Chain A
């Protein structure tokens, strides 16, 4: 699987001891912009093509196990929402007492998921930006990337990882 923990140490150190960003006061400092899954699926199979965690030591289950669970939850909720509301693309996010999961699905069925602390506003525009600015640029436009990205190959490339990492860390609410 194309899981990686790039930038874990730097993310953890850079978020501590910084002044509060202001717009999201009251959120616990340990849980800001916690981790980021970029899951893609083709036909009906579940396949994680890229997962980046900023704080990898804090999870309850390992990343491969978790990515399967995340995929299952997201797909189930998407289907539930579509059935209830009658239109596609209805599912935006869900929140528990500990975290909030944001969801974005492209026209081609790629699913982008990002986890944050519960008080963050909707990050659908952010996920859309990750798709249009980084995924399309560095993964789709890469002529050497294999079709369907088996095992996360192609998505697991340096430019994409670095760009997403930098982009997420520079978001105004990343360490607030």
Chain B
């Protein structure tokens, strides 16, 4: 079961947030923004505090909690896709990449979209919901 999807810009701003299933506490619009910003900062630090010397260190990829798992996929351009799902849900990596496909098709290819700004596209919304339904959200 997939609870929610976040898309965070490379500057740490929340570009998109959608809840698909009940199960997590509801936050206010402002708290979602704070969440995105905080996560962005923590993500940057987690790549710095690696105990092993390896210059190609990614930031946080999976966060495990007792009631959910949070998966983060950072694209080469710095945009972060976050999916919060049930701890038992498998193959979230695939879902994240397909979310990126949908984002590329319906957001980046939209000539009226300003990069880094909140995503307000009906077509994107519809296709994301379809994708999540397909993978058993």
Contact = CB atoms under 8 A, between A and B. Distances in A.
B122 interface: no
A21 B60 CA distance: 27
A111 B12 CA distance: 28
B133 interface: no
B51 A95 contact: no
A99 to B, nearest CB: 5
Interface residues of A, number: 38
Contacts of B60: 94-96
Given A69-B45, A73-B42, A99 B66 contact: no
Interface size classification for chain B: 20 to 34
Interface of A: 30-31, 34-35, 53, 55, 58-61, 66, 69-70, 72-73, 76-77, 80-81, 83-87, 89-99, 101, 115, 122
Contacts of B52: 30-31, 34, 55, 58, 98-99
B31 interface: yes
B65 A96 contact: no
